[in-house]
Amino acid sequence: MADNRTWTQEDKWWEQNFNSRPYAAGRRYDDFRPAYRYGFESGQHHLGRTWDDVKSDLRTGWDKFEHRGAGGAAWENVKDAVRDAWHRITGQHDLDVERMSESNVSKSSRTR
């Protein structure tokens, strides 16, 4: 999926669409801008790898990311935005099993 999109194009897209994301409730775009950029740049760099393959490396790299800014947000506060940008640029939309609760699994099993 990683085509010739630039960060400038992605930045505009995320600014217009970030507020539809559940983690963005009550937050400003600038809170997530570095995370979206990190996910975008990392997705381009790690083409062919899955989110699960790279998430621990990205977690470590977040603290060193040059565009994070002084006093940037902790990984736990931005990881969902990084993953969103990663998925958007790589075209991967893996099922996030870690976030699927047992109650959701039980509900889907009962509806079959």
Tokens of 48: 């062919």
CB proximity list for 73: less than 8 A, separation 6 or greater: 31, 34, 35
Look at residue 2 and tell me if it is in a domain: no
C-alpha span between 40 and 7 (Å, rounded): 7
| pLDDT confidence bin for 70, thresholds 50/70/90 | low
Q: What is the DSSP letter of 21?
A: S
Q: What is the average pLDDT across 8-19?
A: 96
pLDDT score of 15 more than 60: yes
Tens of pLDDT, residues 80-94: 999 999 999 998 875
Give the per-residue pLDDT at 3.
64
C-alpha span between 61 and 38 (Å, rounded): 9
Tens of pLDDT, residues 32-50: 999 999 999 999 998 889 9
Give the per-residue pLDDT at 96.
44
What is the gyration radius of the CA atoms in the chain, in angstroms? 15
Tens of pLDDT, residues 92-112: 875 443 343 333 333 333 344
Look at residue 1 and tell me if it is in a domain: no
Tally of domains within the chain:
1
Q: Are 85 and 10 in contact (CB under 8 A)?
A: yes
In the numeric block, the tokens 């937050």 are attached to: 27
Q: Say whether pTM exceeds 0.95.
A: no
Structural domain of 19 = 7-110
Is 83 in a helix, a strand, or coil?
helix
Give the per-residue pLDDT at 29.
95
Look at residue 75 and tell me if it is in a domain: yes
Look at residue 37 and tell me if it is in a domain: yes
Look at residue 26 and tell me if it is in a domain: yes
* Residue predicted with more confidence, 111 or 13: 13
| Mean pLDDT for the chain overall | 82
Look at residue 56 and tell me if it is in a domain: yes
